[in-house]
Amino acid sequence: MIRNIIAIAKNTFRETMRDRILLSGLVVILAIILFTLFIGSISIDQTTRIITDFGVTAIYTLQIFVAIFIGSMLMYKEIERKTLYLIFPKPITKTELVIGKCIGLLATTCMVTIICTLFLFVLLAIKGGAVFFFPIIVSMFLSSLEVLILILISLFFSSFISPILAAVATITLYLVGHSSDIFRYIFKTIESPSIEYILRGLYYFLPNLEKFNIRNEIVYSTVPSLPLLISTTIYACVYALFLLYITHLVIQKKDL
Amino acid sequence: MNDIIISNLSKSYTKKKATVHVVRDLSLSVTKGTVFGFIGPNGAGKTSTIKILVGLSQPTSGSVSICGGKPSDLSVRQKIGFMPESPTFYQYLTGHEFLDLIATLFDIKEKKKKIKAVLHDVDLLHAENKTIRTYSKGMLQRLGLAQAIINDPDVLFLDEPLDGLDPLGRAEVKKIILDLKSRGKTIFINTHILGDVEEICDMVGIIDKGILIRADPPSVIAQGYVDLEDAFVHTITERRQQSMKPN
């Protein structure tokens, strides 16, 4: 099982890393990070904070792009272009394939994240902003957990709907996942107990992606406590296992 | 001994409230070490049958036995090779990398040696490090064949293996098929190219509209006709005329 998963992951990593769309995205983000030097230079004594703020946001945008758009295309391309016809008659299960695809794409995201973060660190080091290194690493770790959930959501949708619809559905869940504050506000204002009950159910069922967002805090060089980081990691792992399970159920029933 | 046993196999799809029967009550068996040619016009149900045989699709009813097991069994998959019609690959991988993936799935020992040998057999050694997106149609067919035989399968399923190949390529693929046959492999081929069927198949099954019309050696089918193609055309035409007659 592990051998098959690693083989698929390695293959997915190679395939996606050579994808021209990803390489173009990587170049654009590196250019944006370089551009933060200029934006930082026109601020008053806030150069390193501006570079950190813009740089981290740019890297996060690339991570989300990879998770949603490349993730949505991944399974659909396999099914529609019938690449799976070459894989499934071999001694491999559909679940091993999904896990391998997920790990491969996560590895791709981590690789582009590492490249961009190292580039950002070089700029920060030049400008004397080494104090932001650790908060940025923590932020990248948390956003990678968010990416794991988004990859699994896009893999889940793309296993039974077209990539465009899968991307739209994933973006919708992404936006809902970042709206936990709105949910909490609605709970306080809503009068109907039954609607509140339904909304509370949705609140706990849908992914709470705001848990992974510390981008506002890191410009003040603050990071969450270790217990909070551990509980957030456990939340991401449990949610990822749940998504993996429902994707497994869908793909098992799929007739190629 | 039969390596492939198909019993009362049926497959139907429901599209816009209408049920389409692509395979109807198909029963046949293929003896170990023989080459079976499955021929029929477009949309006859050949690819649907082969997809069920390799476990890509589930039958609506009936059963399939490959080497004594179900196609979904991983132990059975270890023993089979499958080349789909016009295979599509991961475009950004090289031929060698793709075969490395397949060899890993089969847990083949001495992968590099085996990959080189298979690439040599299908005459792709010169292009092993080129990305697949740069391959011609013929090269893709050869790579499709290479991934199907890399595990030295007991039973080989080939869906239109000679499609898109030039005469030289076709001769090479036929040579590979005959070589596999001489080594006792069981081969199930879907094809349109009847001249090649006559040359390489021990048995031929003619299918039309999901129904197996007959399964006999090619020489028996061609008896009384100019050649196998003539026999095929007449068999299909007569069958269709019969089915159109009011009861």
Split chain B (247 residues) into runs of 10 and give each run's mean pLDDT. Answer: 88 82 91 91 89 91 91 91 90 92 92 92 90 89 92 92 82 86 91 82 90 90 86 86 72
**Confidence band for A256, pLDDT divided at 50, 70 and 90:** low
Of A85-89, A216-220, A252-256, which gets the smallest average pLDDT?
A252-256
In this complex, the residue of B54, B88, B144 whose CB is nearest that of residue A89 is B54
Cα–Cα distance for residue pair B164/B146, rounded to 1 Å: 16
The answer to whether the beta carbons of residues A89 and B54 sit under 8 Å apart is yes
Q: Which residue of A has its CA nearest to B75?
A: A91
> Given CB atoms, is B226 within the 8 Å cutoff of chain A?
no
Cα–Cα distance for residue pair B188/B191, rounded to 1 Å: 10
Cα–Cα distance for residue pair B163/B138, rounded to 1 Å: 8
Cα–Cα distance for residue pair B174/B166, rounded to 1 Å: 12
Higher pLDDT, A43 or B149: B149
Look at phi and psi of residue B184 and say left if phi exceeds 0, alpha if psi is from -120 to 50, else beta: left
A contact residues 93-112, partner B, Cβ 8 Å cutoff: 93
Q: Which residue of A has its CA nearest to B92?
A: A15
Longest dimension (CA), chain A: 63
Q: Tell me the pairing of strands B18-31 and B186-191.
A: unpaired
Q: Among residues of chain A, what percentage have pLDDT more than 70?
A: 99
Cα–Cα distance for residue pair A183/A176, rounded to 1 Å: 9
Cα–Cα distance list, B216 to A231, A251, A253, B108, B155 (Å): 68, 39, 36, 37, 20
Q: Residues A35-42: what's their mean pLDDT? A: 84
Cα–Cα distance for residue pair A254/A98, rounded to 1 Å: 13
Q: Residues A118-134: what's their mean pLDDT? A: 89
B contact residues 35-94, partner A, Cβ 8 Å cutoff: 51, 54-58, 71, 74-75, 77-78, 80, 82, 84, 87-93
Find chain A residues with C-beta within 8 A of B155's C-beta.
none
In this complex, the residue of A7, A19, A81 whose CB is nearest that of residue B105 is A7
- Amino acid letter for position B98: F
Longest dimension (CA), chain B: 63
* B18 sits in which H/E element: strand B18-31
Determine the residue among B73, B105, B140 to mutate to test chain A binding: the one whose Cβ has the most chain A Cβ atoms within 10 Å: B105
Find chain B residues with C-beta within 8 A of A3's C-beta.
104, 107
Locus of tokens 């290479």:
B146
Higher pLDDT, A255 or B177: B177
Q: How far is CA A38 from the centre of its chain?
A: 28
pLDDT on residue A252? 77
Cα–Cα distance for residue pair A178/A171, rounded to 1 Å: 11
Q: How far is CA B215 from the centre of its chain?
A: 16
In this complex, the residue of B57, B87, B92 whose CB is nearest that of residue A86 is B87
Higher pLDDT, A76 or A167: A167
**Mean pLDDT computed over every residue of chain A:** 88
Determine the residue among B74, B77, B88 to mutate to test chain A binding: the one whose Cβ has the most chain A Cβ atoms within 10 Å: B88
The answer to whether the beta carbons of residues B30 and B4 sit under 8 Å apart is yes
* In the predicted structure, residue A223 carries a pLDDT above the cut 90: no
In this complex, the residue of B90, B91, B105 whose CB is nearest that of residue A92 is B105
* In the predicted structure, residue A254 carries a pLDDT above the cut 80: no
The answer to whether the beta carbons of residues A51 and A37 sit under 8 Å apart is yes
pTM surpassing 0.90?
A: no
DSSP conformation class of B32: T
Terminal CA-CA length for chain A: 22
DSSP conformation class of A44: S
pLDDT on residue B246? 66
Q: How many CB atoms lie under 10 A from the CB of residue A57?
A: 12
Cα–Cα distance for residue pair B195/B214, rounded to 1 Å: 18
> Given CB atoms, is A188 within the 8 Å cutoff of chain B?
no
Closest CA to A17 of A5, A26, A28: A26
Q: How many CB atoms lie under 10 A from the CB of residue B84?
A: 25
Q: How far is CA A212 from the centre of its chain?
A: 10
pLDDT on residue B243? 75
pLDDT on residue A161? 82
CA distance A45 to chain B (A): 46
> Given CB atoms, is A82 within the 8 Å cutoff of chain B?
yes
The residues facing B11 across adjacent strands are B23
Q: How far is CA B208 from the centre of its chain?
A: 17
> Given CB atoms, is A90 within the 8 Å cutoff of chain B?
yes
Cα–Cα distance for residue pair B31/A54, rounded to 1 Å: 68
Q: How many CA atoms lie within 13 A of B128 on its CB side?
A: 19
CB contact under 8 A, B56 and A91: no
Cα–Cα distance for residue pair A61/A65, rounded to 1 Å: 6
Cα–Cα distance list, B3 to B69, B73, B153, B157, B200 (Å): 10, 15, 12, 12, 18
